[in-house]
Structure formats: structure tokens, C-alpha cells
């Protein structure tokens, strides 16, 4: 893609800040010298960017006074409507969601939209993940008349399903389009009435389990933290399907719910040394389990195999490197934006779900590279 001229990048940024409310109607913009310092460009480049905004009717340049945001103009009204927002409670702690949102940010810009990261147009400035703050954000989005909201529902909180439904319905009743990212509001296999894009979690769970079975594993267990997202239930369903198809017995304790960083829970997983493989609901859980097993003197993959889900950046840095399922973050962002633009253009479209194909990433933790006996 051809890089935009610098003056257009600056005018786009200022336009987004005006649309987000950072500079309200009548507010004074930074001076030209301040903008030169902020963006590291020449004064003529800043002057050209401000001229673009003046020609659009967004600002007034007053000789000897400064540059001010105009009020009640068609251009300003249009700018305020070309705004999308993120409601992503796990943004500060979940690498996958950070990658997806980063891709979304560049994509919406290419479509001449601005993107609100919570209350800010700047990533990382709004870090409050409380439910109360999320409700305030929803009301703020409605007041700003944003064009649509990308929502990754809460997990790991009590009564998360009812809380997520309340947030989504608040936006829906106000006529604000909502596209769910990565996960649904409701427990699998139920579906909400909102557009959704993510990876095919059933297929991902099946891939992991079938791979371990082909390696000779016969007693596979699934490790999950309490109150995890509905995506985990879909992964469990995929693992269960693989076990059934290969006619393997599911022991009563095959589904293990707990914190893998808890030594007591970790010891319970290996107490009888019956399991030969553990599928973790994500890479974070797998990383904590690897650490707990190492502390207990258990060697992975020699004594037991461990696999995860997500393919986060640190998966290659673990010891041993982690076999996992790759999440196609760029593709998720592309489809999420397409669903949003379609929903904005035609609100009566049928609800759509897009489940992207998962990809197995082989590394040492599954034991695929162990020397074969005999």
C-alpha cells in the first residue's frame, strides 16, 4: 500500500481527535509550532494539514489568535459519525485481543473512520476493565453516536453472561451496531443475535486432540480456568468429538477446572500419573501449567505432553516451546470490519457468524520430536 503524504496523516489524526471530542466545538487547537514539535515535521507540512481541515469546514483559522474547531457544520457532523469504538475488557491482559485491535485500528483508518479505544483514540490510555466502567462507556458511545462497536465479551467474572448481554442490549436498543470479536455472549452451543467473528474453536479443539492421539496418547485431559469464555466450551466439544471418534474412554476427571498456578491443583493433575497429555484452554494456562510441572519435577514432553491454544508470542520462548493452535488475528480483524460496514449499511441483514479455520503449530511440548522407541 502506498504511504500517505505526511500532511494527510496529520490532518487525519486531528480530524479523529475532533470527532472523538478531544477538541470540542469552539476549542482551540495546538499552535503550528506545537504541532511541528508533536509530529516532527516542517511548518509548511502542518500548514497544509490545517488547510485541508479548513477546506472541509472543520476549523477556523483566525489571524493573530489561532485555530479553532467550528461548531454545527455538516462536515463536523459527518466527521462525528465516522467513528467506531472498541469495548474490549481484556485488552490490557490478552495478547490475542491486542493483536486483533491493532489490526482493526489500521483497517478502519484505511476506510476513513476513526477508532475509539474506550474513551480515547489512543491505545492503552483507557485501562479500566470494570463492569461499571463498561456501562459508562456504552452510554458514552451512544451519546457520541458512534457508527458501531466491536465487543469482546467479559470472561473470568461472576455472572458474566448476564453482564455481557446487558451491555450489548444497551447498545442494540440505541440502534448502535455491535460486532462480537473472538467470543459470543452466550454459552456454547447457543448463539446470540449479534454478528460474530472468531476462530473455529470446535475444529481447533479437535485438531489438538487428534494430533495427540496420533502420537499415541490415550488418556487426554482438558485444563481450564473457572469462568472462562464460551469459546472454551467449544474447544472442549472439539476435544470430546475427537475422543469419541477414536473410541477413547473419557474418564470422569478428564475435564480439570482450576488454576494451574495453584500447587495443590497442579499436584492433583499428576497425583496418580494416569494422564499422558493435557490440552490447556489457552497458552497462558499452558505456560502456568508447564511451570507447575517443572516445580514438581515432571518433564514435558518426556513424562507428559502439554499443548495450548492461541499461539501467543511467548509460546516459542517457553521451555519446552509450546505446541498450540494459531489464531488468525489479521483475518479476524478484516472480517470483523466487513461485518460492521455491512451492518451499518444494512441494519436488517440476518445475523452472521464467521468461524475461521484454525492452524496447528507444532513445537516440542507435544512430544512430536521425541525419538521413537524400537
Give just the sign of the alpha carbon dihedral 330, 11, 15, 133: positive
Say what the pLDDT of residue 289 is: 95
Q: What is the pTM of this model?
A: 0.78
Say what the pLDDT of residue 106 is: 87
**Cell 486432540 identifies what position?**
209
Q: Is-same-fold flag (79-199+329-356; 201-327+360-366)?
A: yes
DSSP, res 292: H
Q: pLDDT grade, residue 1 (50/70/90)?
A: very low
Class of domain 79-199+329-356: alpha beta
Per-residue model confidence as pLDDT tens digits over 276-297: 999 999 999 999 999 999 998 9
List Cβ neighbours of 316 (8 Å cut-off, separation of 6 or more).
322, 363
Per-residue model confidence as pLDDT tens digits over 41-64: 999 999 999 998 888 788 888 888
Residue 62 · residue 55 · CB < 8 Å: no
Instruction: Sort 360 into a burial class: Cβ within 10 Å, 0-12 / 13-18 / 19+.
Output: middle
* Helical pair 6-20 and 74-81, crossing angle rounded to 10 deg: 90
Say what the pLDDT of residue 254 is: 93
Per-residue model confidence as pLDDT tens digits over 257-281: 999 988 889 888 988 678 999 999 9
Residue 251 · residue 219 · CB < 8 Å: yes
Cα distance between residue 160 and residue 130, in whole Å: 12
Say what the pLDDT of residue 75 is: 46
Helix, strand, coil shares of the chain as percentages rounded to 5?
Answer: 45, 15, 40
Residue 10 · residue 39 · CB < 8 Å: yes
Please state the domain extents for the chain: 6-77, 79-199+329-356, 201-327+360-366
Q: Is residue 159 helix, strand or coil? A: coil
Per-residue model confidence as pLDDT tens digits over 62-77: 888 889 988 765 444 4
Per CATH, domain 201-327+360-366 is 3.40.50.2300: yes
Q: pLDDT grade, residue 126 (50/70/90)?
A: low
Mean of pLDDT values over 7-28? 78
Say what the pLDDT of residue 373 is: 57
Picking from 144, 8, 107, the residue whose alpha carbon sits closest to that of residue 341 is 107
Q: Three cell numbers at 97? A: 485481543
Mean of pLDDT values over 195-224? 97
Choose which CATH entry (3.30.1490.190, 1.10.10.10, 1.20.1530.20, 3.30.420.40) describes domain 6-77: 1.10.10.10
Q: What's the number of CA atoms in the CB half-sphere (13 Å) around residue 9? A: 12
Q: Tell me the range of 118-132, 144-158, 311-325, 359-373 where mean pLDDT is highest.
A: 311-325
Query: Is the per-residue pLDDT at 316 higher than 70?
Result: yes
Per-residue model confidence as pLDDT tens digits over 138-166: 999 998 889 999 999 988 777 888 899 99
- Cα of 239 vs its chain's centroid, Å: 23
Mean of pLDDT values over 207-234? 94
Say what the pLDDT of residue 76 is: 47
Amino acid at each position: 500500500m502506498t504511504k500517505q503524504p505526511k500532511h494527510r496523516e496529520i490532518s487525519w489524526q486531528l480530524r479523529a481527535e475532533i470527532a472523538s471530542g478531544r477538541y470540542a466545538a469552539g476549542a482551540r487547537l495546538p499552535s503550528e509550532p506545537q504541532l511541528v514539535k508533536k509530529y516532527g515535521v516542517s511548518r509548511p507540512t502542518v500548514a497544509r494539514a490545517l488547510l485541508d481541515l479548513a477546506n472541509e469546514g472543520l476549523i477556523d483559522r483566525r489571524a493573530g489568535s489561532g485555530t479553532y474547531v467550528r461548531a454545527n457544520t455538516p462536515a463536523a457532523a459527518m466527521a462525528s459519525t465516522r467513528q467506531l469504538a472498541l469495548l474490549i475488557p481484556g485488552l490490557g491482559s490478552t495478547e490475542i485481543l491486542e493483536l486483533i485491535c491493532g489490526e482493526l485500528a489500521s483497517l478502519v483508518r484505511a476506510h476513513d473512520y476513526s477508532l475509539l479505544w474506550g474513551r480515547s483514540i489512543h491505545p492503552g490510555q483507557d485501562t479500566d476493565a470494570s463492569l461499571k466502567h463498561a456501562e459508562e462507556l456504552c452510554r458514552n458511545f451512544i451519546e457520541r453516536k458512534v457508527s458501531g462497536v466491536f465487543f469482546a465479551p467479559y470472561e473470568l467474572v461472576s455472572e458474566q453472561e448476564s453482564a455481557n448481554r446487558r451491555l450489548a442490549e444497551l447498545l442494540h436498543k440505541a440502534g448502535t451496531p455491535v460486532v462480537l470479536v473472538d467470543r459470543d455472549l452466550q454459552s456454547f452451543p447457543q448463539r446470540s443475535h449479534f454478528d460474530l467473528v472468531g476462530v473455529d474453536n470446535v475444529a481447533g479443539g479437535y485438531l489438538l486432540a487428534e494430533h495427540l492421539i496420533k502420537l499415541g496418547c490415550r488418556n487426554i485431559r482438558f485444563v481450564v480456568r473457572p469462568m472462562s469464555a464460551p469459546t472454551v466450551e467449544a474447544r472442549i466439544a472439539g476435544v470430546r468429538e475427537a475422543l469419541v471418534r477414536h473410541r477413547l474412554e473419557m474418564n470422569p476427571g478428564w475435564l480439570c477446572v482450576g488454576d494451574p498456578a495453584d500447587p495443590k491443583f497442579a499436584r492433583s493433575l499428576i497425583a496418580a500419573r494416569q494422564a499422558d497429555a493435557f490440552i490447556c484452554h489457552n497458552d497462558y494456562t499452558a505456560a502456568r501449567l508447564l511451570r507447575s510441572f517443572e516445580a514438581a519435577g515432571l518433564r514435558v514432553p518426556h513424562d507428559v505432553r502439554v499443548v495450548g491454544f492461541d499461539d501467543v508470542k511467548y509460546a516459542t520462548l517457553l521451555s519446552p516451546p509450546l505446541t498450540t493452535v494459531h489464531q488468525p488475528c489479521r483475518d479476524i480483524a478484516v472480517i470483523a470490519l466487513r461485518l460492521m460496514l455491512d451492518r451499518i449499511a444494512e441494519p436488517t441483514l440476518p445475523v452472521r457468524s464467521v468461524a475461521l479455520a484454525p492452524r496447528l503449530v507444532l513445537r516440542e511440548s507435544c512430544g512430536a520430536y521425541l525419538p521413537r522407541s524400537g
